[in-house]
A = this chain, B = another copy of it.
């Protein structure tokens, strides 16, 4: 309906997550009618980011430097290593502000059905890191989903022979949550993982 170049722009915008045909149309026309400067800036930044952003050589998170800001920070406790699935998980834990150790980002989870095995989530790099640095405890903070739990179990089995403490973050009723609104699985887990006071 629109001219070929505008149609192509709409199709390209659909690579963005959560953007369907109607949103893509709205975005394309907004950029062309009202914000060509922003569109130009976006195109340039996309090019720069695709070329510049790679993986941190130590923790595998996304960064344009060789080592990310946290791995480079000498004040972080490098005896603690927290294993998470994605860079957003690092952000969430950093915003909570209580963890002072370092991270290892799997960039995914084990998922045999999608062909994602231990090599794809860098388990060997994780084991090498645990051995080469004086890590005393590995904290597994993968998501409490079926894949996350399986990944967590697999990694713990691989790390235990190295004689390093392996722990899993606690799962249960969130603070401020009302029991009435908590799902059954979480409640059952909260009961089975109860601690003596």
A35 touches B62 (CB 8 A): no
Min CB distance A1 to B, Å, is 5
B91 touches A49 (CB 8 A): no
A64 touches B17 (CB 8 A): no
If A5-B53, A53-B5 touch, whether A40 touches B46 (CB-CB below 8 Å) is yes
- Stretch of A6-14, A127-135, A138-146, A189-197 on the interface side: A6-14
A64 touches B12 (CB 8 A): no
Tell me the dominant secondary structure on chain A's binding face.
helix
8 Å CB interface, A50-66 against B: 50, 52-53, 62-65
| A67-89 interface code vs B (CB 8 A; 1 in, 0 out) | 01100000000000000001110
Min CB distance A83 to B, Å, is 17
A16 touches B1 (CB 8 A): no
B46 touches A42 (CB 8 A): yes
Asked if A18 is at the interface (CB within 8 A of a chain B CB), the reply is: yes
Min CB distance A24 to B, Å, is 10
A49 touches B8 (CB 8 A): yes
B41 touches A94 (CB 8 A): no
Among A32, A46, A62, find the residue whose CB has the most chain B CB atoms closer than 10 A: A46
If A31-B15, A35-B15, A42-B46 touch, whether A52 touches B5 (CB-CB below 8 Å) is yes
Q: How far is the CA of A81 from the CA of B66 in the complex (A)?
A: 61
A50 touches B36 (CB 8 A): yes
A29 touches B86 (CB 8 A): yes
Min CB distance A160 to B, Å, is 29
Query: 10 shortest A-B CB distances, which residue pairs?
Result: A15-B38, A43-B46, A12-B45, A3-B63, A12-B42, A43-B43, A9-B49, A5-B64, A17-B30, A43-B47
